[in-house]
Amino acid sequence: MEPYDRVFAAINHQEPDRPPIDYIATPEVHAYLKKHLGMEDEALRQYLGADIRYVSPRYVGPEGTTGAAGVGAAGKDFLGIVWKPVKNEFGTYNEIAFHPLGHMTTVEEVESYAWPSVDWFDFSHLKEEIALLNADQRHAILFFAGGAFETPWYMRGMERFLMDLVECPEIAETISRRAMEFYQARAMRAIEASDGRIDIIGSGGDIGTQRGMMLAPDLWRTHIKPYSEQLIRPFKDMGLKTFYHSCGSIVPVIEDFIGMGLDILDPIQPKAAGMQPEALKSRFGDRLAFHGGVDEQELLPHGTAAEVRSTVQHLIEVLGKDGGYIVCAAHAIQPDTPVENILAMYEAAREYRYK
């Protein structure tokens, strides 16, 4: 099967020839895998068996700012958030040093903020880029739109934003709405510029912790869900597949996401409360596909290659029964992960065959 067909068979709850595979890693991991295998970017993805490719616009916005919101780049991003690199013995993560909306006290101040323009991004290359990615075989093409929960607290500050949801929800909702409107418009522009060659629209925002949700489910339903849904439902109604990322335990609202039109839930953090594969497959597996699941907290960094292979096979047999599973780590592969464990994960997935 071609990668596209493999991915879509799984999303549609059919068993493909083998489970579809995805590859997401930190820059340090990507660099040392390329060096270890002597391969460049696309050759590495093909070797690992990755069936999904990610595309994004190019940033052409104001000088002195970056187009990569989040941990992707240090400096001042296009939202006005300032990120500074923080290093540990294994790698570097960018952490927030300034929240541009943190001082605001009224809806009017939020509305009058210098929100970014979709015109700050160039989409003209997407059609050609996707054609090149699909030149030899068709892949499933994913465009990540953004989110209506993480971006707001990045801009406001987590503690302040969570307090807003209770004390002044009109401010929280205004920030979420403005973030959603920008990300929705950017995704629509990408779909148009790619001439419909994007297959999956991603959105996300961590609303879970190791032990449960970061905020009460009803608080999320009232103040965040309406805006998160607008990054899922319109694209679902257009005939695209939809993908949502949230680390941690989000069991109380998975049913909500299904109702919102979600096709693929990521990253299935198996050590988080209630996120065990057997439970998720039993409750939701006939209506939802799962992406991730290979434990990045203990198994990948500290297990043996044999344990990784065994776990991957078990996940395929549980989450992938009758389709519905895309093999990937339960977070971007971290730089403390031994290369033999990374290769074992992908070898186990590539070699598995549905009967």
* Tens digits of residue pLDDT in 273-286: 999 999 999 999 99
How many structural domains does the chain have?
1
Concatenate the DSSP letters of all residues of 62-125 into one string: STT-BS--STT-SEEBTTS-EEEEEE-SS-EEEEEEE-TTTT--SHHHHHTS----GGGEE-TT
What letter would DSSP give residue 316?
H
* Interatomic CA distance for residues 257 and 263, integer angstroms: 9
- Taken as a whole, the chain contains a residue count of 355
pTM of the complete model = 0.97
**Taking phi first (over 0 means left), then psi (-120 to 50 degrees means alpha), and beta for anything else, what does residue 200 get?**
beta
H helices then E strands: how many in the chain?
16, 12
User: pLDDT tens digit string along 192-246?
Assistant: 999 999 999 999 999 999 999 999 999 999 999 999 999 999 999 999 999 999 9
Say what percent of the chain tops pLDDT 70.
Answer: 99
DSSP 23-60: --B-HHHHHHHHHHHT--HHHHHHHHT--EEEE-PEE-
Beta strand 58-59 with 289-294 is unpaired
Counting residues of the chain whose pLDDT is more than 90, the rounded percentage is: 95
- Give the per-residue pLDDT at 70: 67
Residue 86: the pLDDT is: 92
**The pLDDT of residue 210:** 97
Give me the residues paired with residue 52 across strands: 140
The span from the CA of 250 to the CA of 273, in Å, is 9
- List Cα–Cα distances, 140 to 11, 169, 325, 327, in angstroms: 11, 38, 14, 14
Instruction: Report the chain's mean pLDDT, rounded to a whole number.
Output: 97
Inter-residue contact 71 to 92 (CB < 8 Å): no
Secondary structure (3-state) at 208: strand
The model's pLDDT over 17-52, given as tens digits with 9 standing for 90+, comes to 999 999 999 999 999 999 999 999 999 999 999 999
Please give the average per-residue pLDDT across 245-253, as a whole number.
98
The boundaries of the domain holding residue 229 are 3-351
CA dihedral 287, 292, 293, 299 (to 10 degrees): 180
Residue that has been written with the tokens 């996401």 in this structure: 257
Region 150-169: mean pLDDT is 97
Q: Determine the pLDDT at residue 68.
A: 78
Give DSSP secondary structure letters for 269-304: -TTSTT--HHHHHHHHTTT-EEEEEE-TTTHHHHS-
Could you give the angle at which helices 339-351 and 305-319 cross, rounded to 10 degrees?
A: 40
The CATH number of residue 188's host domain is 3.20.20.210
- Residues 192 and 129: their CA atoms lie apart, in Å, by 14
- Interval 136-154: pLDDT, tens: 999 999 999 999 999 999 9
Place of tokens 């299904």: 258
- Check residue 127 and give left, alpha or beta (phi > 0: left; psi -120 to 50: alpha): alpha
- Confidence at residue 199, expressed as pLDDT on a 0 to 100 scale: 98
How many C-beta atoms lie closer than 10 Å to residue 113's C-beta?
17
Q: Is residue 146 left, alpha or beta, with left meaning phi > 0 and alpha meaning psi from -120 to 50?
A: left
